Chains A and B, each alone.
Chain A
Amino acid sequence: QVQLVESGGGVVQPGGSLRLSCAASGFTFSSYGMHWVRQAPGKGLEWVAFIRYDGSNKYYADSVKGRFTISRDNSKNTLYLQMNSLRAEDTAVYYCAKDFRVVAIDYWGQGTLVTVSS
Protein backbone atom coordinates (compact mmCIF):
# COMPACT_ATOMS: atom_id res chain seq x y z
CA GLN A 1 0.00 0.00 0.00
CA VAL A 2 1.08 3.57 -0.59
CA GLN A 3 3.00 5.08 2.30
CA LEU A 4 4.31 8.63 2.57
CA VAL A 5 6.28 9.52 5.69
CA GLU A 6 7.35 13.11 6.28
CA SER A 7 10.17 14.20 8.53
CA GLY A 8 12.24 17.29 9.28
CA GLY A 9 9.65 19.52 10.90
CA GLY A 10 10.36 21.52 14.03
CA VAL A 11 10.71 24.98 15.50
CA VAL A 12 12.75 27.57 13.59
CA GLN A 13 13.27 31.30 14.03
CA PRO A 14 11.97 33.81 11.50
CA GLY A 15 14.42 34.12 8.63
CA GLY A 16 15.73 30.62 9.23
CA SER A 17 15.78 27.52 7.04
CA LEU A 18 14.47 23.98 7.24
CA ARG A 19 14.46 20.98 4.92
CA LEU A 20 11.56 18.56 4.91
CA SER A 21 11.83 15.01 3.59
CA CYS A 22 9.20 12.52 2.51
CA ALA A 23 9.99 8.82 2.20
CA ALA A 24 7.70 7.08 -0.29
CA SER A 25 6.91 3.39 -0.64
CA GLY A 26 4.25 1.09 -2.05
CA PHE A 27 4.28 2.55 -5.57
CA THR A 28 6.73 3.34 -8.36
CA PHE A 29 7.90 6.70 -7.05
CA SER A 30 9.79 7.63 -10.20
CA SER A 31 6.58 7.44 -12.27
CA TYR A 32 4.53 10.02 -10.39
CA GLY A 33 4.51 13.73 -9.75
CA MET A 34 4.53 14.78 -6.11
CA HIS A 35 3.15 17.71 -4.12
CA TRP A 36 3.65 19.54 -0.87
CA VAL A 37 0.46 20.93 0.70
CA ARG A 38 0.28 22.79 3.99
CA GLN A 39 -2.35 23.57 6.59
CA ALA A 40 -1.94 26.36 9.12
CA PRO A 41 -3.39 25.66 12.58
CA GLY A 42 -7.19 25.75 12.39
CA LYS A 43 -7.12 26.76 8.73
CA GLY A 44 -7.74 25.16 5.35
CA LEU A 45 -5.50 23.39 2.88
CA GLU A 46 -3.00 25.39 0.81
CA TRP A 47 -1.09 23.87 -2.09
CA VAL A 48 2.62 24.72 -1.88
CA ALA A 49 4.58 23.05 -4.67
CA PHE A 50 4.58 20.32 -7.33
CA ILE A 51 7.36 18.44 -9.08
CA ARG A 52 6.98 16.24 -12.14
CA TYR A 53 7.91 12.56 -12.00
CA ASP A 54 11.35 13.20 -13.48
CA GLY A 55 12.00 16.55 -11.81
CA SER A 56 11.87 18.35 -15.15
CA ASN A 57 9.21 20.85 -14.10
CA LYS A 58 8.43 22.48 -10.77
CA TYR A 59 5.58 24.79 -9.83
CA TYR A 60 5.10 26.90 -6.71
CA ALA A 61 2.39 28.87 -4.96
CA ASP A 62 2.99 32.62 -5.12
CA SER A 63 3.27 32.71 -1.31
CA VAL A 64 6.46 30.59 -1.34
CA LYS A 65 7.97 31.33 -4.76
CA GLY A 66 11.63 32.32 -4.47
CA ARG A 67 11.89 31.00 -0.89
CA PHE A 68 10.99 27.30 -1.15
CA THR A 69 12.50 24.67 -3.45
CA ILE A 70 10.97 21.28 -4.18
CA SER A 71 13.22 18.44 -5.31
CA ARG A 72 13.33 14.67 -5.47
CA ASP A 73 15.79 11.77 -5.50
CA ASN A 74 14.20 8.92 -7.43
CA SER A 75 17.05 6.58 -6.47
CA LYS A 76 16.08 7.04 -2.81
CA ASN A 77 12.30 7.30 -3.31
CA THR A 78 12.42 10.59 -1.44
CA LEU A 79 10.82 14.00 -1.92
CA TYR A 80 12.24 17.17 -0.38
CA LEU A 81 11.17 20.71 0.41
CA GLN A 82 13.90 23.23 1.17
CA MET A 83 12.40 26.19 2.99
CA ASN A 84 14.40 29.40 3.34
CA SER A 85 13.61 32.88 4.70
CA LEU A 86 10.86 31.40 6.83
CA ARG A 87 8.11 33.64 8.16
CA ALA A 88 5.57 33.27 10.95
CA GLU A 89 2.86 32.72 8.34
CA ASP A 90 4.69 29.60 7.13
CA THR A 91 3.75 27.88 10.39
CA ALA A 92 1.70 24.83 9.37
CA VAL A 93 1.50 21.10 9.05
CA TYR A 94 3.21 20.19 5.79
CA TYR A 95 1.85 17.20 3.89
CA CYS A 96 3.66 15.22 1.25
CA ALA A 97 1.17 13.98 -1.36
CA LYS A 98 1.13 11.79 -4.47
CA ASP A 99 -0.18 13.31 -7.67
CA PHE A 100 -3.19 11.90 -9.51
CA ARG A 101 -3.25 12.57 -13.27
CA VAL A 102 -1.53 15.96 -12.74
CA VAL A 103 -4.84 17.48 -11.60
CA ALA A 104 -5.51 16.05 -8.15
CA ILE A 105 -3.99 14.18 -5.19
CA ASP A 106 -4.78 10.59 -4.33
CA TYR A 107 -2.56 9.84 -1.32
CA TRP A 108 -1.34 11.98 1.55
CA GLY A 109 1.22 11.52 4.29
CA GLN A 110 0.39 12.22 7.92
CA GLY A 111 2.21 15.55 7.88
CA THR A 112 5.03 17.21 9.78
CA LEU A 113 4.60 20.39 11.82
CA VAL A 114 6.74 23.44 11.10
CA THR A 115 6.61 26.26 13.62
CA VAL A 116 8.26 29.58 12.84
CA SER A 117 8.67 31.54 16.04
CA SER A 118 11.24 33.50 17.96
Chain B
Amino acid sequence: SYVLTQPPSVSVAPGQTARITCGGNNIGSKSVHWYQQKPGQAPVLVVYDDSDRPSGIPERFSGSNSGNTATLTISRVEAGDEADYYCQVWDSSSDSWVFGGGTKLTVL
Protein backbone atom coordinates (compact mmCIF):
# COMPACT_ATOMS: atom_id res chain seq x y z
CA SER B 1 0.00 0.00 0.00
CA TYR B 2 1.01 3.61 -0.52
CA VAL B 3 3.12 5.19 2.23
CA LEU B 4 3.41 8.88 3.17
CA THR B 5 6.37 9.99 5.27
CA GLN B 6 6.38 13.16 7.39
CA PRO B 7 8.99 14.48 9.85
CA PRO B 8 7.77 13.98 13.44
CA SER B 9 8.38 17.58 14.39
CA VAL B 10 9.15 21.03 13.03
CA SER B 11 9.98 24.09 15.11
CA VAL B 12 9.82 27.72 14.04
CA ALA B 13 9.93 31.14 15.65
CA PRO B 14 6.88 33.44 15.44
CA GLY B 15 6.82 35.46 12.24
CA GLN B 16 9.04 33.01 10.40
CA THR B 17 8.08 30.48 7.71
CA ALA B 18 7.36 26.82 8.51
CA ARG B 19 7.71 24.12 5.89
CA ILE B 20 6.30 20.65 6.51
CA THR B 21 7.15 17.94 4.01
CA CYS B 22 5.29 14.83 2.96
CA GLY B 23 7.20 12.20 1.01
CA GLY B 24 5.76 9.50 -1.20
CA ASN B 25 6.66 7.57 -4.32
CA ASN B 26 5.88 9.88 -7.26
CA ILE B 27 3.55 11.87 -5.02
CA GLY B 28 3.65 14.64 -7.60
CA SER B 29 1.23 12.58 -9.69
CA LYS B 30 -1.37 12.61 -6.89
CA SER B 31 -3.48 15.32 -5.28
CA VAL B 32 -2.30 16.03 -1.74
CA HIS B 33 -4.48 17.39 1.06
CA TRP B 34 -3.41 18.82 4.41
CA TYR B 35 -5.16 18.86 7.78
CA GLN B 36 -4.48 20.79 10.96
CA GLN B 37 -5.37 19.22 14.30
CA LYS B 38 -5.11 21.10 17.56
CA PRO B 39 -5.08 19.22 20.90
CA GLY B 40 -8.47 17.80 21.80
CA GLN B 41 -10.05 18.93 18.54
CA ALA B 42 -11.08 17.33 15.27
CA PRO B 43 -8.89 17.85 12.20
CA VAL B 44 -9.53 20.79 9.88
CA LEU B 45 -8.80 20.80 6.14
CA VAL B 46 -6.35 23.63 5.42
CA VAL B 47 -5.14 22.82 1.89
CA TYR B 48 -6.66 20.59 -0.78
CA ASP B 49 -5.58 19.56 -4.26
CA ASP B 50 -1.93 20.40 -3.50
CA SER B 51 -2.36 24.16 -3.14
CA ASP B 52 -5.99 25.30 -2.84
CA ARG B 53 -7.42 26.69 0.39
CA PRO B 54 -10.96 26.14 1.71
CA SER B 55 -12.87 29.27 2.53
CA GLY B 56 -11.85 30.72 5.89
CA ILE B 57 -8.28 29.43 5.78
CA PRO B 58 -5.73 32.28 5.85
CA GLU B 59 -3.58 32.96 2.80
CA ARG B 60 -0.57 32.26 5.02
CA PHE B 61 -1.24 28.56 4.36
CA SER B 62 -0.03 27.31 0.98
CA GLY B 63 1.06 24.07 -0.60
CA SER B 64 3.13 22.62 -3.39
CA ASN B 65 3.72 19.18 -4.81
CA SER B 66 6.35 17.84 -7.18
CA GLY B 67 8.35 14.69 -7.70
CA ASN B 68 8.47 12.68 -4.49
CA THR B 69 7.70 15.51 -2.05
CA ALA B 70 4.72 17.67 -1.19
CA THR B 71 5.14 20.68 1.09
CA LEU B 72 2.84 22.65 3.32
CA THR B 73 4.14 26.17 3.87
CA ILE B 74 2.92 28.40 6.67
CA SER B 75 4.10 32.01 6.34
CA ARG B 76 4.31 34.51 9.21
CA VAL B 77 3.75 31.77 11.74
CA GLU B 78 1.61 32.62 14.77
CA ALA B 79 1.32 30.94 18.15
CA GLY B 80 -2.15 29.75 17.15
CA ASP B 81 -0.65 27.68 14.32
CA GLU B 82 0.87 25.27 16.82
CA ALA B 83 -0.75 21.93 16.02
CA ASP B 84 -0.30 18.55 14.39
CA TYR B 85 -0.40 18.58 10.59
CA TYR B 86 -1.25 15.58 8.43
CA CYS B 87 -0.91 15.07 4.69
CA GLN B 88 -3.29 12.74 2.88
CA VAL B 89 -3.80 11.27 -0.59
CA TRP B 90 -6.28 8.96 -2.23
CA ASP B 91 -4.56 5.80 -3.47
CA SER B 92 -6.53 4.72 -6.53
CA SER B 93 -4.64 1.43 -6.82
CA SER B 94 -6.07 0.20 -3.52
CA ASP B 95 -9.15 2.46 -3.17
CA SER B 96 -7.89 3.74 0.15
CA TRP B 97 -7.39 7.12 1.75
CA VAL B 98 -3.85 7.33 3.14
CA PHE B 99 -2.60 9.67 5.87
CA GLY B 100 0.95 10.58 6.70
CA GLY B 101 2.16 9.97 10.23
CA GLY B 102 1.74 13.62 11.19
CA THR B 103 4.09 16.48 12.06
CA LYS B 104 3.95 18.41 15.30
CA LEU B 105 4.56 22.10 14.64
CA THR B 106 6.03 23.91 17.62
CA VAL B 107 6.11 27.71 17.71
CA LEU B 108 9.11 28.71 19.78
Contact = CB atoms under 8 A, between A and B. Distances in A.
A14 to B, nearest CB: 26
B64 interface: no
A47 B4 CA distance: 13
A44 B102 contact: yes
Given A45-B43, A95-B42, A104 B48 contact: yes
Given A44-B102, A45-B99, A47-B99, A104 B42 contact: no
Interface size class of A (residues with CB under 8 A): 20 to 34
Interface string B1-43: 1000000000000000000000000000001010101000111
Nearest to A99: B97
A111 B101 contact: no
Given A44-B99, A47-B98, A103-B31, A110 B86 contact: no
Contacts of B68: none
A34 to B, nearest CB: 12
A39 B42 CA distance: 10
Interface of A: 35, 37, 44-47, 50, 59, 61-62, 95, 100, 102-106, 108-111
